[in-house]
Amino acid sequence: MELFVVMAIITCFAIFFISQPDRNMKARALRIQCVNNLKQTGLAFRVWEGDHGDKYPMNVSETNGGTMEFTAGLNEWRHFQLMSNELTTPRVLLCPADDSHLYAATNFTFLSNSNVSFFLGVDVADGSNPQMILGGDCNVTNGTQIKNGILRVSTNNPAGWTSETHNKVGNILLADGSVQQLSGAGLRSTIGNTSIATNRLQMPVLGP
């Protein structure tokens, strides 16, 4: 009986250690896909900017074809819907590792925050400052409350990543269209390099 117990314990350990690399490989694959989705999103912003006076949608009024009036509240999806031609498919707006949002939208007509995994830096007027934070994984936090759809991050309130999505790491899209995979320390350093006191991140919140 004791022998069977020992064998059972050894078998359990063997299964655990054999499956661990598979889980790690899957997590890395999902994060790479997330990076690719953010890169496509960044490219869409650059293309849209080139056709609209070198400004991003958040810096153009609705009257002039932008989304300036929607940089708060439950309206984050509107910025992406506006760029439907540049994005081509709404599927790139969902991180494959994100379980907090429901599903990828099949078209832009019925797009909502439930189909978006990424926050948007609404203070980014254009791509002239490559260090500005344009977007990133929505599992960012700094311990403060999201108010009216906006999370305010600064060096005074150190930011980090939750265990959701990529398990305390995350991806950041910069204003020049590049994407960085960052730890919590890397995120805080990136926020400090933006040259503005407070970064306003519009989050894909699902309700009040």
**Tens-digit pLDDT profile for residues 57-114:** 999 999 999 999 999 999 999 999 999 999 999 999 999 888 877 678 889 999 999 9
| Dist. CA 149–CA 113, nearest whole Å | 11
Give the Cα separation of 30 and 37 in Å (integer): 11
Residue pLDDT, tens place only, 165-198: 888 899 999 999 999 999 999 999 999 999 889 9
Residues 71/61, Cβ–Cβ less than 8 Å: no
The pTM assigned to this predicted structure is 0.84
Q: Kind and range of the H or E element at 137?
A: strand 133-137
Q: Does an H or E element contain 141, and which?
A: strand 140-141
Q: Residue 195, by phi and psi: left (phi above 0), alpha (psi -120 to 50) or beta?
A: left
